[in-house]
Amino acid sequence: MAALAWLLIPLFAVVGAAIWGSWVQRNKTIGDVAELAGYARFRDAMERSHPTAEAGPAPLRPVHEPAPAES
């Protein structure tokens, strides 16, 4: 009976290694497609929201003057 117990240890090790190997080799590209599409949308939004370099920077207000009230 003791010999059977010693033979089961390598069997469990092989089964565990097979499970771990299949977990490591799983297809991980499913999430990448959505993430790359989101990054492309973000990049497009950032390009649209910034003014062009030809327009120049916005004029700076001195610190002591309050901002004009918008109506």
Query: pLDDT tens, 19-66?
Result: 999 999 887 766 677 788 889 999 998 888 755 555 566 666 666 666
Token pair recorded at residue 38: 């989101």
Are the CB atoms for 41 and 47 separated by under 8 Å?
Answer: no
Place 13 in a pLDDT band, splitting at 50, 70 and 90: very high
Q: Which residues contact 67 (CB under 8 A, 6 or more apart)?
A: 61
Residue 47 CA from chain centroid, whole number: 21
pTM over 0.75: no
Q: Could you give the residue ranges of the DSSP H alpha helices within 1-71?
A: 2-24, 30-49
| pLDDT recorded at residue 1 | 81
The Cα 42–Cα 60 span in angstroms is: 28
